[in-house]
Amino acid sequence: HRLQKVETHAEVDPASDHRTIGTAQSLFTTHTSSPGAPFFQPDGTHIFNKLTAFLRAQYPAFGFCEVLTPTMYKQSLWEQSGHWANYKDDMFMVTGSSSHKPEAAPVEFSDGWMQPKKKFIDVREPEEFGLKPMNCPGHCLLFQSQRRSYRDLPIRYADFSPLHRNEISGALSGLTRVRRFHQDDGHIFCRPSQVKNEISKSLDFVRLVYQTLGLEDYALVLSTRPERDYIGTLDEWNRAEDQLKEALTASGKLWRTNVGDGAFYGPKIDVIVRDSDGKSHQTATIQLDFQLPKRFMLGYEAPAPDLEAKGETKLDPISRQKMGSVTPVMIHRAVLGSLERFMAILLEHHKGQLPFWLSPRQVIILTVTDHVPVKQHAKKLKDTLSNTAGDSMPKQIHHPTYIVDVDDSGDSISQKIVRARKKKYNLVCVVGARNFVGEQMEGNSATLDVNVTAQPNQRKTWDAIEKIKPGS
């Protein structure tokens, strides 16, 4: 659950640097009032929202439930999680600016949870808060907030919260060296016997997403137990590493082992993706954690707790009768990792020409003449495709909408086509008095073919759009 740096193995062509693309396409910008916190302009936000919508659409099939958790927690929570000891310098601290004096301490209960209907006598908090650099402690608290049985597991939380890390401002740049970012963060709480299946499902998720994004060229790396100073028993590690290896082999992907390179609290699998420039990026991570569930004293009720903890589920009737609390295995997993950094990778991988479904410039309609009926037809087409016609009925949440612009200026059609190409529209439609044309610009294609047909051909546009996968 640490943010990894981009590994660069090749020189960057300045024109395909994501910062150049971001500026040229008005995707994002920065300001000295908040160094390292990108401002996403409308087109950049569109890409961000498409990525999260795509992941959200996959979550039900993979059993993930999205949750919303606080931005900051008291210092005492970070002490409990261990972040205070190891991560303090990278965290931002939050205090109330008020001069109000404390009148009384807040009422707390033994397990730390507030009863919602109690009245509190309290004032502005004197205690310091830490701005969260990761979601794990919040998800542990959510797990802890209800009684859990072995029947409830696995519980899988997903969270797109903004995260903050106090990187030195000299290193801040674009979307890759930031202080504020979002992860497609997820935490799985499972039984020891479920580790292999959860790892397999996580690797399936990675494959599905990376195939969709056109980044099939990736490798898997297993980092195993360090020789010393690890927590947990040798047995726990061996069982977990065996399950990880089985899942890796079953994935059919090439994988290798970095012996002894795991964190002290558990083994992990990293995904190393290679982009179109040959650069490698460490993106997805699947990290087992034997430590955090213990620090938060997480538990679930299961029969034969001693056997359960060893991953044994075939129980005889007598041992089944004894119920007890077992510590769940926690798995941190991110499929894209930092969404900001992944957006940078995608922009560079696709040389700024994102695939249709992710693109903030999906369709442009060019008018051949400036006759009123032609302009009206262009406007009508835009309203249909972008679902912006009328406003007396609510738009359906699941109605597909496209980003459509119109160029009905007085310029010549060839000037308009040059401009549309430069602006990287995926689909360029030309509307004339009796002509309608739709053709698609794909991938890194440098040429724009405009088929001129004799009749209006709205169907063709729809067909072009319909065949694009996924969604949008």
Active site residues per annotation:
136, 165, 183, 185, 187, 268, 332
Nearest by Cα to 334 from 284, 375, 294: 284
Q: Footprint of a second copy on residues 408-427 (CB under 8 A)?
A: none
- The answer to whether residues 27 and 175 touch, using CB atoms and an 8 Å cutoff, is no
- The answer to whether residues 71 and 161 touch, using CB atoms and an 8 Å cutoff, is yes
**Smallest distance, a second copy to C-beta of residue 7, A:** 20
Residue numbers at the binding site for Zn ion (CB under 5 A): 1, 136, 332
CA 424 to chain centre: 25
Residue 187 contacts a second copy per CB under 8 A: no
Nearest by Cα to 189 from 312, 40, 332: 332
Q: Which does 37 bind (CB under 5 to 8 A by kind): a second copy, Zn ion, none?
A: a second copy
Q: Footprint of a second copy on residues 315-374 (CB under 8 A)?
A: 357
Query: Would you call the peptide bond into 154 cis, given omega within 30 degrees of 0 as the criterion?
Result: yes
φ, ψ of residue 18 in degrees (nearest 5) = -65, -25
Per-residue binding letters, 99-138, with a second copy (x by CB under 8 A): xx--x--x-x---xxx-xx-xxxxxxx---xxx------x
Q: Which does 410 bind (CB under 5 to 8 A by kind): Zn ion, a second copy, none?
A: none
Number of residues that bind a second copy (CB under 8 A): 121
Nearer to a second copy, 99 or 447 (CB): 99
Residue 443 contacts a second copy per CB under 8 A: no
Please identify which residue in 4, 212, 282, 435 interacts with a second copy, judged by CB under 8 A: 212
Residue 146 contacts a second copy per CB under 8 A: yes
Please identify which residue in 217, 400, 412, 451 interacts with a second copy, judged by CB under 8 A: 400
Distance CA 67, CA 161 (A): 9
Angle between helices 339-349 and 42-58 (to 10 degrees): 110
Distance CA 329, CA 298 (A): 10
Nearer to a second copy, 114 or 418 (CB): 114
Residue 15 contacts a second copy per CB under 8 A: no
Q: Which does 40 bind (CB under 5 to 8 A by kind): Zn ion, a second copy, none?
A: a second copy
Query: Would you call the peptide bond into 470 cis, given omega within 30 degrees of 0 as the criterion?
Result: yes
Distances (CA, A) of 386 to 189, 340, 472: 41, 26, 11
**Smallest distance, a second copy to C-beta of residue 406, A:** 14
